[in-house]
């Protein structure tokens, strides 16, 4: 297979990331994923794994953990989703060992350091294809999905490359997610909010139950601070499964010392450790919580298995990159990318923008998928933006139509016919329009769907 054939083949499978409506429990089947992995020789078994679920910050938490492990000298697999530009971004190996020369190590663009190569995924697909065909329309287990194919690719790649540890981000939920097939050393649960309510449940408790599905019997768990309803569920699941739970804000505490548009500094204290003046380049107070969760997980797996020094933590935090999340890509005017897809994420984004930046006008380019809480996200952005340019991502069948998106602003409490509301049917046109409207002391925020952020990254050639 050449790379184009590989891309076409992977895209031939049903992609629930681009389908707004489907039956969650029918579409997601762990039995199918386990059967696929068994047919491939169970590449996930024997892998040391860190597994992370949650509503917000999963990817950042995984990336921070991976960069710290890299600095500690471990060959670290990193599997995240969705991708911004190229699906190979999802499968990465971070490696910083002094003896890496001559060991298949190649330099990669910093933003997606170590992503799987075209030839590598071509070879893996040759192995997966016969198995995938057997499950394309399975009589009892249903059809294999795009995400399951990529998850299988990740496990095979990590096994072939003999990674020391793999850091896995769940795709959707957790209990039925394809990543929930391994046995993690530690599980992490980031902040939980209302999302995918038509699939995961219409309350925080129901959603927390799906996320807590990654918790295994007699395992180690670290949770971010949660609303009471969500935390009660996580605690209950841990008790039922004899899992040892550590909570941010209770067992692990951080203090923010400084937060700017370029970096942050914080202190961190947990069971048996205390660090002063930790610095990181990921911005926004929520990233400090994510970093605290990452470090908390690593400190639990460290004794006797992984040697992670304070210097590794400090350097890993400084080196960690997670594109498309409060990412500043230009100054004069500022241009910021952030994939805020639910009201809670949009509120955190709005608060961070107001706290970290000084600007005259906020020009917001906004596009979002049709199955999100569009009204909730729109309300947050409407309240903080001077000009809003509505748009939609390319190649995403879930993208909400601009004319329908407009209704959420036209009927907003601010004004019957909101001033400063513009439309554009593609990201390139929207960005060009924003740049014409912006003065050097303004801020352009590109947000909503990660597909929109990915299109913007392509426009700016990032």
HSE of 237 in the Cβ direction (CA atoms, 13 Å)?
26
Judge if 331 and 183 occupy the same domain: no
CATH number of domain containing 394: 3.90.190.20
The mean of the pLDDT values for the chain is 92
Kindly state the average pLDDT of the residues 124-150: 91
Confidence category of residue 103, pLDDT binned at 50, 70, 90 = very low
Confidence category of residue 137, pLDDT binned at 50, 70, 90 = confident
Domain interval for residue 234 = 3-319
Kindly state the average pLDDT of the residues 436-441: 97
DSSP 13-29: SB-GGG-S---HHHH--
Phi and psi at residue 290, in whole multiples of 5°?
Answer: -60, -40
Bigger pLDDT: 178 vs 19? 178
Domain boundary among 297, 319, 341: 319
Q: What are the start-end ranges of the H helices in 85-201?
A: 118-134, 146-160, 197-200
CATH number of domain containing 107: 3.40.1190.10
Judge if 332 and 311 occupy the same domain: no
Judge if 113 and 144 occupy the same domain: yes
* pLDDT beyond 50 at 30: yes
Angle, helices 146-160/118-134, rounded to nearest 10 degrees: 120
Say which residues have a Cβ less than 8 Å from residue 42's Cβ, sequence separation at least 6: none
Judge if 335 and 315 occupy the same domain: no
Judge if 248 and 102 occupy the same domain: yes
Judge if 112 and 257 occupy the same domain: yes
Confidence category of residue 410, pLDDT binned at 50, 70, 90 = low
272 torsion bin: left (phi>0), alpha (psi -120 to 50), beta (else): left
Judge if 182 and 262 occupy the same domain: yes
Q: Indicate the length of the chain as a whole number.
A: 462
Q: Residue 140 has what pLDDT? A: 79
Kindly state the average pLDDT of the residues 107-128: 84
Judge if 356 and 304 occupy the same domain: no
Kindly state the average pLDDT of the residues 340-365: 94
Lowest mean pLDDT among 183-187, 223-227, 407-411: 407-411
Query: How far is residue 172's CA from residue 177's CA, in Å, rounded to a whole number?
Result: 6
Phi and psi at residue 267, in whole multiples of 5°?
Answer: -100, 150
Judge if 193 and 145 occupy the same domain: yes
Q: How many Cβ atoms from other residues are within 10 Å of residue 216's Cβ?
A: 17
Q: Are 392 and 370 spatial neighbours (Cβ–Cβ below 8 Å)? A: no
Judge if 310 and 347 occupy the same domain: no
* pLDDT beyond 50 at 109: no
Domain boundary among 298, 319, 340: 319
Q: Residue 462 has what pLDDT? A: 79
Domain boundary among 256, 284, 319: 319
Q: Residue 110 has what pLDDT? A: 59
Q: How many Cβ atoms from other residues are within 10 Å of residue 428's Cβ?
A: 15
Confidence category of residue 341, pLDDT binned at 50, 70, 90 = confident
Give the number of domains in the chain. Answer: 2
Judge if 299 and 385 occupy the same domain: no
Lowest mean pLDDT among 88-102, 104-118, 136-150: 104-118
How far apart are the two ends of the chain, measured CA to CA in Å?
A: 28
Lowest mean pLDDT among 183-187, 228-232, 423-427: 423-427
Query: How far is residue 123's CA from residue 153's CA, in Å, rounded to a whole number?
Result: 10
Alpha-carbon torsion angle 115, 119, 124, 126, nearest 10: 150
Judge if 193 and 171 occupy the same domain: yes
């Amino acid at each position: 297979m050449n790379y184009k054939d590989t891309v076409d083949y992977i895209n031939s499978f049903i992609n629930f990331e681009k389908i707004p409506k489907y039956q969650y429990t029918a579409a997601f089947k762990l039995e199918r994923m386990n059967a696929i992995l068994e047919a491939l020789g169970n590449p996930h078994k024997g892998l040391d794994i860190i597994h992370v679920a949650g509503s917000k910050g999963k990817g950042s938490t995984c990336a921070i953990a991976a960069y710290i492990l890299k600095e500690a000298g471990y060959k670290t697999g990193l599997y995240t989703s969705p991708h911004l530009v190229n699906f190979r971004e999802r499968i990465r190996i971070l490696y910083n060992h002094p003896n890496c020369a001559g060991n298949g190590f190649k330099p990669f663009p910093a933003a997606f350091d170590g992503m799987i190569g075209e030839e590598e995924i071509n070879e893996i697909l040759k192995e997966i294809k016969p198995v995938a065909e057997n499950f394309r329309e399975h009589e009892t287990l249903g059809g294999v999905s795009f995400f399951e194919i990529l998850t299988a690719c990740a496990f095979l790649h990590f096994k072939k490359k003999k990674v020391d540890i793999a850091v896995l981000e769940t795709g959707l939920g957790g209990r039925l997610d394809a990543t929930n097939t391994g046995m993690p050393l530690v599980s992490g649960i980031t902040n939980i909010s209302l999302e995918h309510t038509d699939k995961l449940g219409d309350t925080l408790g129901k959603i927390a139950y799906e996320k807590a599905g990654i918790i295994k019997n007699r395992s180690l768990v670290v949770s971010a601070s949660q609303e009471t309803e969500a935390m009660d569920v996580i605690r209950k699941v841990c008790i039922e499964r004899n899992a040892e739970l550590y909570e941010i804000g209770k067992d692990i505490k951080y203090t923010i010392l400084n937060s700017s548009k370029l970096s942050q500094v914080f202190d961190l204290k947990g069971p048996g450790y205390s660090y002063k003046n930790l610095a990181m380049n990921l911005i926004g107070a929520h990233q400090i919580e994510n970093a605290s969760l990452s470090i908390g997980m690593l400190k639990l797996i460290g004794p006797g298995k992984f040697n992670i020094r304070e210097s590794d933590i400090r350097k890993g935090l400084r080196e960690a990159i997670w594109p498309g999340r409060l990412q500043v890509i230009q100054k004069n005017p500022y241009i910021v990318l952030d994939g805020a897809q639910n009201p809670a994420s949009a509120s955190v984004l709005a608060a961070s923008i107001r706290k970290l930046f000084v600007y005259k006008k906020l020009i917001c380019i906004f596009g979002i998928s049709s199955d999100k809480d569009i009204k909730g996200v729109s309300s947050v952005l409407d309240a903080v933006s001077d000009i809003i340019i509505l748009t939609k991502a390319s190649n995403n069948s879930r993208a909400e139509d601009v004319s329908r998106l407009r209704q959420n602003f036209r009927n907003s409490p601010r004004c019957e016919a909101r001033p400063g509301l513009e439309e554009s049917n593609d990201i390139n046109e929207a960005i060009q329009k924003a740049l014409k409207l912006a003065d050097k002391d303004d801020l352009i925020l590109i947000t909503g769907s990660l597909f929109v952020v990915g299109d913007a990254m392509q426009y700016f050639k990032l």
